[in-house]
Structure 1
Amino acid sequence: MNGGTWRAVRVLAAATAVGLIAGCGSTIEGSPRAEGASSSGDTEQFTALLEECNAVADEQIAQTVGADAIERGFFGAICRWDAVGANGPVKVTFNWFETGSLDTEKSTGEKLGYTVESFTIQGRKAVVMRPPGDPGACGVTVGSPSAGVVGWWVQFQTGAADPCEAASTLADLTLNLSS
């Protein structure tokens, strides 16, 4: 390297070092916290988190689907139960989408190729959906008592009972809570 090149390399290295020191040398006020950690520590607004899974008692769900035994499964955005009784194994699912709409539920069902019909429960607009090729399954979605929509899906493995009647009854029981 000649003298001019060597000098240019030193100037460039010095400029890079100054830039790094200036960029990394700033002070940020406060205490470090893990990403996603709460800043207030106030969790009282979440005291009813997942309480929607208790909208209808397990015993009422079991009675509605003709089950002798029922077990709660996954809770999260939806609530699930597995039951068994005279009608064989039954899967029950509940959802409450606070920002959902019947139009969205209806169009989604239609896009999936489900049979979709409009009706009412306790004077509220509702839709009933049946997936193709599964006569043991049915979903009912109704406008919720507060905001959004609530839905129940019932799937009888044996097709021994009417899943739409069971899902409609569960939706009706959910609406009774708001009376």
Structure 2
Amino acid sequence: MKRADLVTRTRIGGALAGSLLLLSGCSSVTAGTPRPVGDLGSGGSEQFADVLQECEAVGDEQIAEAVGADAVGRGFFGAICRWDGIGVAGPIKVTFNWFETGTLEHERAAFEHLGYAVAVIDVSGRSVFQVRQPADPASCGVTAGAPAGGVFGWWVTEPGGGVDPCDAATRLAGLTLNRSA
């Protein structure tokens, strides 16, 4: 056998071995049971459980009324949805989040880790968290367990002082809980 043939075979063998090693290193196994989109694996309202429609949990007109704005404009929609409005005292920012596999315990731990003030309040007969950033009295959030699974939260920021952001976030959480019941 010629030296050139031996070198070629060695290179091909090395390339094949490297390719097999690379391919085997890219495979992985994920534990769990696959579920179709929108299946939260628990009971609850089908109206709220449509994962692709979480930003529709409360209508734009209801959001505007809850925060004291003439109207709200829709922003980014995804796991976190945003609206901007103008109230009597200026701009208002509204944020809605829904994490389909989240827990209230995890959310509370995260808020406390960030140094936020967390209080348990009642909204529509349910215990929920009211969250405040101590350094930002113009912002307030309410986080609740969603009947169909996971957690949702509303944050309202009203720097002009036209509405109480905690009252607005609480009203939005109540609307969401009433819709999802």
Calculate the TM-score normalised by the size of structure 2: 0.75
CA distance 1:101–1:11, change in 2 (3 Å): same
Structure with more relative contact order (C-alpha pairs < 8 Å, separation 6 or more) = 2
Pairing 1:55–2:50 present: no
User: Unaligned regions of 5+ residues in structure 2, if any?
Assistant: 20-35, 39-49
How many residues are treated as equivalent by the alignment? 154
1:133 corresponds to: 135
Cross-structure match for 1:11: 6
The one-character-per-residue Cα deviations of 1:6-58 (angstroms, maximum 9, x if unpaired) are: x656523333236658998xxxxxxxxxxxxxxxxxxx957x55311111110
> 2:156, 2:16 → 1: CA distance?
63
- Name the amino acid aligned to 1:14: R
Distance, in Å, in 1 between the alignment partners of 2:117 and 2:18 is 61
Match of residue 23 from structure 2: none
Structure 2 match to 1:97: 99
Alignment root-mean-square deviation, CA = 2.5
Q: Distance in 2 between matches of 1:96 and 1:18?
A: 52
2:87, 2:162 within 8 Å by CA — same for their partners in 1?
Answer: no
1:22/1:130 CA distance change after superposition, 3 Å: closer
Contact kept? 1:141, 1:149, Cα under 8 Å: yes
In structure 1, what is the equivalent of residue 120 of structure 2?
118
Counterpart Cα distance in 2 of 1:156 and 1:139: 12
- Higher-Rg structure is 1
Residue 156 in 1 paired to residue 151 in 2?
no
